[in-house]
Chain A
Amino acid sequence: MNSQRLRGLIRKEFLQILRDPSAIAIAFVMPVFLLLLFGYGVSLDSKHVNIAVVVDQPTPETSSFLGSLQQSPYFIPIQYPSIRIARQAVMSHHVDGIIWLRSDFSRNLLQKKLAPVGLIVNGVDANNARILEGYLQGVWQNWMNQRALDSGSPLLVPLQGQIRIWFNPALRSQDYLVPGLIAIIMTLIGALLTALVVAREWERGTMEALMASPVTMGEILVGKLVPYFIMGMGGMLLSVAMALFLFKVPLVGSFWVLLLFSTLFLLAALGMGLLISSVARNQFVAGQIAIIVTFLPAFIFDIRSTPLPIQVITHLFAARYFVASLQTLFLAGDIWPILLWNGLALIIMALFFLGVTWRRSHKRLD
């Protein structure tokens, strides 16, 4: 490695980055955009859901139950005079479900200590419907407990669930999504950007001129790795800062471990980008491959819920290990038994991609 040649190449790369708005956009605008979009736009939680309430016969018990509904952060109850009108409201999407307290609600409650509550949910969004159902049961349970306490007599429930939610006690899906997003952003910067810029050198014929100079292939590769490594880490730090300060995702683990894992992952992603572009010497094809490879590893959904063949395939993508590490680091802490394996996988992938690229690239045009 000749430091002067390397310096020249790196300086050239930075000048090109600075003058190419699309590179800046991929590295800095896209992370912000994706984080805002997924952080605010895509939420798997249901909050402030409009729900119709139909009370056939108002009693003190019904108004007490309504009161506790109103206090729940999950629902905005809207009273409808009859079930027929409430049904229309569901049809027209004004509300997502109906809570129907029939005329015998109070009587059943007082006599049998148990009263059926009618719940009709719009099941088009199945996930949302299930969540609503769960929330309503929670509200019901709370209200019954409260009543039992108020009346002094213990509630006669044969089995009482005591639920603890670990690692994400508030059940905020952002806490789970945002770390996954960081992995996607870094793959995009690492793989997409490098794949594009190397392919561009081939396309514009500059690679030919570079190769005819005394520069070595190793210098060309390192000259590409260093600038995009810096860009990728910049994008990563930006994303982490947004995660911590904007979305208030807790970072339970250590920042330095996070940095270490990001470095490993970025090297693997850059290696992949370089490899893609050495196979496809055409920006369009290189971009296509990079995007497919980036989005294959699912980051939103649990991999275990996918079909077996897909689960096997995900093992080939560095992003899988990085997503797992990130979610562990952010939500659970430095859990070494998990991190160690994922870290090892990342090291192997980084070595593999960089090694293959190194071996494949020789200073020849064919």
Chain B
Amino acid sequence: MVESPLQFLDVAKKFKRSKGEVQALQRLSFHLAYGRIIGLLGPDGAGKSTLMRMAAGLLLPDSGQVLVFGIDTCSPDNRIQSQIGFMPQRFGLYEDLTVQENLDLYSDLQGLNKEESQKRQQELLALTALDPFSKRYARALSGGMKQKLGLACALLRSPRLLLLDEPTVGVDPIARRELWEIIKALKEEGTTILISTAYFDEVERCDEVILLHEGQLLGQKTPGEFLSPLSNHTYLVNRKDSSRRQLQEELRFRQGVIDARIFTEGVRVLCMDLQIHPASGENWVPVPPTFEDAFVSLLGQKNVLADSPELPTHILPRHEINPEVVIEVNELKHFFGTFEAVKGVSFQVRKGQIFGLLGANGAGKTTTFRMLCGLLPASAGILRVAGVDMRRASTSARALMGYVSQKFSLYGNLSCNQNLSFFSAAYGLKGKDGRQRIDCALQEFQLSDYRDVNTDDLPLGIKQRLALACALLHDPLILFLDEPTSGVDPLARREFWQRVNGLAEGGVTILITTHFMDEAEYCDKLVLMSRGEVLAQGSPVEIRSKARNDVCSQPSMEDAFIYLIQEHEAVLRRFS
């Protein structure tokens, strides 16, 4: 009998924390079959990273056995490590080494001889298209390139088992698509690949999916097997006279509906049974189920916000602001030295809109964002936020803004409560008023249970909630969210979007950047950027229709994104 690449036998693992113990994995048993791509999916804190690290022999089980190609990871033996490739979440690259030097280091560590290593490095550089950048420092690579280099380093010895721990976090759709091409090529060579991910579309590309929840196995099946019980449970609902957001709010609380989310022109609904529950004026069209439906039906039956259907609008009195146009940007430019990072960008954002900024890594999104918040001065152009000229009086406008940055900027060694107190003081909220707002925020964002927990010990989803709470303490008119959902698990993301929708309904204007194309659907208006320029702007429907052609009659947002960016780059190449 051939040994399974990876076998978990009744594995349990606990971690000691400052307060008590955390059961990361409990009685987990499964095995992987050869030459398949296995997706590992689960919410934050489900034990995905722990599982990956145990498979790599970096953590030992408290009880049970982990076998890699039949070898126990407890045995003092490095035969395991020469058969696996492991890419940790942060890629494990040396930033102050060049691409070539990183590859050389890992070749030496894998014990490849000179010829082998040269040949393999050539192959990998070609595969990852990093050839032209071999002399570049790893720190100067974009997120997508770093991820590919990390992958190349893990692939040097053609591992028989490849472990990828959330390789696509914070990486743009083009880079993700490229990564999947590589993964598919590896599968052809007979490698077994275990990949943990937060993207449902990626899960659907796997041969098999392991669903993990609170350290326990919820199922190990093919994606099709996960989906089949849900056929004829999913519909796309339209109603002429109301906005998608209103419709979604209505449907979420309708009897028999498990889940409702905004999707293309309507709202996708997942029903409990085969019955449909239409109301007057609604048009229900059956659609095939997706993995997200399966995930929600298995994990999210209890609606995350069901306990507090009232969205946190009452700490935010509705803003009655006069100018309908909250943000006005015209021919905005920014130079870093001689490099033009933003090349004359123009758009307008209306009050209460959710406005999305999309683009590949390095497109100038974050730079534009920082100029809008007054963190970077604009080099040229007009920039008005809430009627204030940001190039003159950015300070007065800043009191009207809330900002959640990519890494949340919370103080890791302060508790939730202390973080909130700090930000309320920073925004000038004092005494009783400040205390009241903090209490409100703790309650509305369901943070009371975490009140005295240090932020470092919180799961990412809770951190994100706290960051949002901090940014909303002073009742901002405009909320800036810079990749707020990167690395956050699907359930937390859904909950996050419910809150954001609620805020928009309450009159708050929201600007958001994201790499999740399904999230782009939630926006009222989108701007697609590439290399500092605006390629397209409009509603999600308008953006998608721009990519409609003979090959693709119903392009998804991701198709549109990739199509428009590649088109633009082709034009650039023709001119240079």
Contacts and interface: CB of A to CB of B under 8 A. Distances in A.
Contacts of A11: 104-105, 108
Nearest to B53: A365
A18 to B, nearest CB: 9
Interface in A11-35: 11-12, 15-16, 19-20
Contacts of B92: 205-206, 208-210, 212
Nearest to A203: B90
B86 A212 contact: yes
B15 interface: yes
B76 to A, nearest CB: 9
Interface residues of A, number: 28
A9 B101 CA distance: 11
Interface in B87-122: 87-97, 101, 104-111
A98 B101 CA distance: 69
B543 to A, nearest CB: 36
Contacts of A19: 96-97
Interface stretch (B55-63, B225-233, B314-322, B400-408): B55-63
Interface string A184-197: 00000000000000
A206 B60 CA distance: 19
B153 interface: yes
Contacts of B97: 12, 15-16, 19
Contacts of A147: none
Interface stretch (A77-85, A121-129, A213-221, A289-297): A213-221
B109 A16 contact: no
A8 B153 CA distance: 14
Contact of B109 (A204, A214, A365): A214
A107 interface: no
A5 B111 contact: yes
Interface stretch (B77-85, B296-304, B565-573): B77-85
A343 to B, nearest CB: 36
Given A2-B111, A364-B58, A205 B94 contact: no
B81 A8 contact: no
A4 interface: yes
Contacts of A15: 96-97, 101
A47 interface: no
A267 B60 CA distance: 32
Contacts of B109: 5, 8-9, 210, 213-215
Interface string B29-72: 00000000000000000000000010011111000000000000
Nearest to B82: A214
Contacts of A5: 108-109, 111
B108 A20 contact: no
Contacts of A205: 88-92
A210 to B, nearest CB: 7
Contacts of B111: 2, 4-5, 214
Nearest to B16: A366
A363 interface: yes
Contacts of B105: 8-9, 11-12
A209 B59 contact: no
B136 to A, nearest CB: 13
A7 interface: yes
B95 A204 contact: yes
A364 B94 contact: no
A144 B108 CA distance: 79
A214 B94 contact: no
Given A20-B96, A204-B90, A204-B95, A211 B108 contact: no
B78 A214 contact: yes
Contacts of A204: 90, 95
A80 B78 CA distance: 85
Interface in B148-164: 150, 153-154, 163
Contact of B108 (A4, A209, A363): A4
B316 to A, nearest CB: 37
Contacts of A363: 57-58
B140 to A, nearest CB: 12
A363 B59 CA distance: 9
Contacts of B106: 213
Contacts of A7: 108
A16 B56 contact: no
A12 B94 contact: yes
B93 A206 contact: yes
Interface string A157-189: 000000000000000000000000000000000
Contacts of B78: 214, 216
A212 B94 contact: no
Nearest to A5: B109
Contacts of A12: 94, 97, 101, 105
B425 to A, nearest CB: 24
B90 A212 contact: no
B75 to A, nearest CB: 12
Contacts of A216: 78
Contacts of B15: 366
Nearest to A215: B109
Contact of A206 (B59, B94, B110): B94
A224 to B, nearest CB: 14
Contacts of B86: 208-209, 212
A335 B90 CA distance: 55
B96 A212 contact: no
Contacts of B94: 12, 16, 206
A26 to B, nearest CB: 16
A8 B104 contact: yes
Interface of B: 15, 53, 56-60, 78, 81-82, 84, 86-97, 101, 104-111, 150, 153-154, 163
12 contacts: A4-B108, A5-B108, A204-B90, A208-B90, A209-B92, A209-B153, A210-B92, A212-B163, A213-B81, A215-B109, A364-B60, A365-B59
Given A7-B108, A16-B96, A364-B60, 16 more contacts: A5-B111, A16-B94, A16-B97, A205-B92, A206-B93, A209-B91, A209-B153, A209-B154, A210-B92, A212-B84, A212-B88, A213-B81, A214-B82, A215-B81, A364-B58, A365-B53
A-B CB proximity, top 4 nearest = A209-B92, A8-B108, A205-B90, A212-B86
